[in-house]
């Protein structure tokens, strides 16, 4: 694990598990990611030309579906059994489809089998690393910790089988290292884009808040209507209403 990534994961996980409501948010994201992986794996099982991989992808999909359910249960339990908004999001089939299929193509179709397996290896290894940080720091509650330990066993198996497949491709002389580099680069780029989107949302909210409370609000308190200037909203709506009545009367006369 790179030192930079370890520091980033450690800092973010301390924040994410301690702020009220954030563990539910985090677990919801995990549940969605697991369901997205399940869709990717089912699509791979259908599309692979390699018979021996079909069963592996299908079993992998079943694991990911089970993980999605476990995380969704934890969200519900931490929300006091209520059907939170996050649960409604999990049920959103449209969102699920957006995760699994982009531009009408599944992940497997976009990447091809070699890069798909490189992606599985990198993504699963990252997940194992991330869950390990949470457990080392004893951040989740005891039930979520037990669930994470259970899920980690499957994720470790996903890492080992995808690694074996990558090594098999390497022995055949396929460009595995280039595929791994491409996957890591794309994941970094996507992470950066997610960060900039979230930061953009936060920054626009912050500046709009400042604008409303620092400029628009005080201005409204000292502003007065002037003759020949702005008109009051009620006057304007009366004018609009009269205009509409006249138009309706004209239409009735014509008919
Ligand atoms: Fe998983
Ligand atoms: Fe996995």
Cβ 140 vs Cβ 24: under 8 Å:
no
CA of 99 to the centre of ligand 1 (A): 15
**Residue 143 confidence (pLDDT):** 95
Average pLDDT, the chain: 86
Q: What distance in angstroms lies between residue 64's CA and the mean position of ligand 2's atoms?
A: 6
Measured between alpha carbons, how far is 129 from 187 in angstroms, rounded to an integer? Answer: 15
Cα of 197 from ligand 1 centre, angstroms: 25
Residue 245 to residue 181: CA distance in whole angstroms: 68
pLDDT tens-digit profile of 167-210? Answer: 999 999 999 999 999 999 999 998 899 899 989 999 999 999 99
β-bridge pairing 101-102 and 105-106 = antiparallel
Q: What is the arithmetic mean of pLDDT over 17-45? A: 91
CB 76 within 8 A of CB 87: yes
Higher pLDDT, 119 or 227: 119
Is 74:27 a contact under the CB 8 Å cutoff? yes
pLDDT digits (tens, 9 = 90+) for 125-151: 999 999 999 999 998 999 999 999 999
152: enclosing H helix or E strand: helix 142-171
Give the pLDDT band of residue 21 (cuts 50, 70, 90).
confident
Q: Give pLDDT, residue 147.
A: 96
Asked if the model's pLDDT at residue 45 lies above 60, the reply is: yes
| Nearest of 183, 195, 184, 158 to residue 2 by alpha carbon | 184
Cα(63) to ligand 1 centroid in Å equals 6
Residues whose beta carbons lie less than 5 angstroms from ion ligand 1: 34, 64, 67
* Distance separating alpha carbons of residues 27 and 86, to the nearest angstrom: 10
How do residues 226-246 score in pLDDT, each as one tens digit?
A: 676 666 666 556 666 666 677
SS3 at position 45:
helix
Place of tokens 């936060």: 202
Residue 98 has pLDDT above 70, yes or no: no
What is the C-alpha separation between 214 and 226, in angstroms, rounded?
23
Give me 119's structure tokens. 């992606």
Residues paired with 102 in a beta bridge: 105
pLDDT(161) > 90: yes
Measured in Å, residue 181 CA sits from the centre of ligand 1 at 22
How many whole angstroms from 67 Cα to the centroid of ligand 1?
A: 5
Both tokens assigned to 4:
């930079």
Which residue, 146, 127, 108, 132, is CA-closest to 34? 127
Band the pLDDT of 220: cuts 50, 70, 90.
Answer: confident
Question: Which residues make Cβ contacts (< 8 Å) with residue 225, sequence separation at least 6?
Answer: 231, 232
245 CA to centre of ligand 2 in angstroms = 64
CATH architecture of 3-198: Up-down Bundle (1.20)
Residue 235's pLDDT is what? Answer: 59
**Ligand number nearest to the C-alpha of 161:** 2
Residues with CB under 5 A from ligand 2 (ion): 124, 155, 158
Mean pLDDT confidence for 159-170:
97
Closest CA to 78 of 26, 151, 15: 26
Which pLDDT score, from 0 to 100, does residue 230 have?
67
How do the domains of the chain map onto residue ranges? 3-198
- CA 60 vs. chain centroid, Å, equals 20
Tell me which ligand sits closest to the C-alpha of residue 120: 2
Report d(CA 134, CA 129) in Å as an integer. 9
Distance 117 CA to ligand 1 centre (A): 15
pTM: 0.77
Closest CA to 184 of 105, 107, 115: 115
Ligand nearest to the CA of 119: 2
CA 47–ligand 2 middle distance (angstroms): 19
Looking at residues 28-54, what average pLDDT do you find? 93
């Amino acid at each position: 694990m790179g030192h930079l990534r370890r520091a980033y994961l450690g800092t973010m996980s301390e924040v994410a598990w301690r702020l009220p409501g954030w563990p539910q948010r985090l677990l919801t994201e995990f549940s969605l990611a697991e369901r997205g992986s399940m869709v990717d794996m089912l699509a791979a099982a259908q599309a692979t030309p390699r018979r021996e991989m079909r069963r592996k992808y299908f079993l992998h999909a079943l694991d990911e579906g089970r993980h999605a359910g476990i995380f969704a249960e934890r969200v519900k339990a931490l929300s006091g059994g209520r059907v939170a908004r996050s649960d409604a999001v999990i049920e959103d089939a449209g969102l699920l489809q957006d995760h699994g299929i982009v531009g009408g193509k599944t992940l497997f179709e976009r990447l091809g089998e070699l890069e798909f397996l490189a992606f599985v290896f990198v993504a699963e290894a990252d997940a194992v690393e991330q869950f390990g940080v949470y457990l080392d720091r004893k951040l989740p509650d005891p039930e979520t910790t037990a669930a994470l330990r259970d899920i980690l066993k499957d994720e470790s198996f996903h890492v080992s089988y995808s690694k074996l497949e990558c090594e098999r491709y390497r022995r055949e002389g396929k460009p595995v290292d280039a595929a791994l580099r491409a996957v890591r680069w794309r994941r970094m780029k996507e992470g950066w884009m997610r960060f900039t989107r979230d930061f953009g949302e936060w920054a626009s909210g912050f500046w709009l808040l400042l604008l409303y409370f620092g400029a628009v609000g005080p201005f409204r308190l000292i502003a007065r209507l002037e003759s020949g200037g702005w008109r009051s909203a009620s006057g304007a709506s009366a004018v609009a209403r009269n205009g509409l009545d006249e138009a309706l009367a004209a239409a009735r006369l014509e008919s």
